[in-house]
Structure 1
């Protein structure tokens, strides 16, 4: 039974589970409703201790009223708490999304008063402004994590970002995969540039932009025809940062074809430099410079807009068109799940449609498939009669 005390002292209640819940009132909102702080402990003694501590903290002004904590205060505070667990680039991306999008749209709202409809309204505004689904997804991930921390801190009782869905909209694919003829045109134009062989290497291996920038000769075994992906370069606030690959699955060993090994042996840096591909001064490449160069080469080849990352899509799609198992291609790309490879990186070429076009007679001859069912099983498939 709830044990009553004088006003402001709070109470302790035994729950059906056998544990004890303490509760105190820390103030009232603009509508005159109580603002509560509470917690659950295994014993009444522990619950009483926590209640007493909460009352003392409240009397000293150490308990912040949830109703006056706004997202403009909570999001930066949460991000700093999150910093140790985030990679530098991820932290920079989170900070950008928070300050560029979330704070202007929702920063003035009180955390406790935030409604799912307001969150969804923010997503709609970002969509109307032409931002990609990827940006919206990242915005939702950040807001959901931040509000979940608010739930754990008992600032709110539920996470409204969990129920606020992203708007459903369809956009055409921005990624593309070059077919065999387009690859020839691209590489022909690339040969006019000092880093032309880099692009042939990327199409032959599927490395990420940051992975090829970080590739050292120490990671390459030419005699063993093996490449070890161990480092990655990311751009954080305009600065190139050397670190580990994007994901755990990004740390991988790739077998190299003899042709690719010959390409590496032909490089002027082979045996003399630290990095496999470098700038004119022999220094590590800056990732964004490769993006610009890939676009320039594509335009010179008459291929229109081609991103550096599209070369990775090209590698995946060409491999899959050759019948390489999805799981193998996924591991070579460093994906954590084959579904990522299938959903995002698989582009079906026109030639594949043409090669797999059959007449009905082709499908039925010479050995049409038979459907196996209980009605068609022959006597040899029948279970043995039970012994008498």
Structure 2
């Protein structure tokens, strides 16, 4: 592994680790979980602004649901399944004994269950759900690779239930969202591919013709140019794949938009149309990042650990020049925390040069030194990663730093 492999960076920056007792699983450390939550909250805010409402669905469900949806036939070998535990006769819940259960490998059938809980009118459509869905897949041990391939992961899943007339607008809406998110994360451009019907699929050719044509037309209306990936679609419908190129010219398939006429039929989703008739909705599957874990691996390697300042686990290190400045350093820390700036205090009895080196080792982008002169003048001395330095009054400096570290989404808010 080289120095910019995300596993090396994860260890160096104290973000996460993995161990034999949890093969394919991730132990997130405080700094890594901070990064995870910042990214999650950013995506959550973006989805909310795009009209999605967040839901939460179970991880453990009866195998019969996955059989009905078709996922058991397609993914059963990679699903964790087992029979419900036996119970002592007479205990409550005997009916569950021996029932086949599965950990969910994806969230789409669960979102259909939420949609199905009441009769829907065409006036309610489109209905948009999002979820950070915890999923499990029994990946072969030889394919596991740090955060890039895990057995437990979280997908930023989203689904739209709509009519065929809504498809173009909904695909366009999501393409605009993807462009904004990827630019904020350091990927100003991407390539797109349209993945068509695979050999093993649900639905007849007429349904697939309709779905592929509708998705291609929506992609063109959204201003996308795309290649064709023959046979690479999902078993229930064609998909648009969004491929990002990192700083080492490697391609990563991340976001997807999948058009699905199959699952709503298999899982009995319906709405009442303007003629007062029951009709199947179209289901559009969305993901911006794909897997949270895999995307964080890509971000770490793309930025070589120097994440954009708004994403950094700690954005500022506040370092004392001497013990005598500890009280003022605490005041500076409080001012930064009040401004929602993620800061770390370094009050160790070390030379300032050592503290600067250690902050760079942690790849914290902003360094603030606090000495006797700063305390007397109620200032802070700011050093940026590129070497730029400035000394500002405390309130002015905190305001300046707040603007520098804000999420792009907040900076864009009037």
The two structures share one fold, judged by TM-score above 0.5:
no
More helix by share: 1
Higher RCO structure, 1 or 2 (CA under 8 Å, sep 6+): 2
Asked which structure has the greater CA Rg, the reply is 1
TM-score between the two structures when normalised by the length of structure 1: 0.22
More strand by share: 2
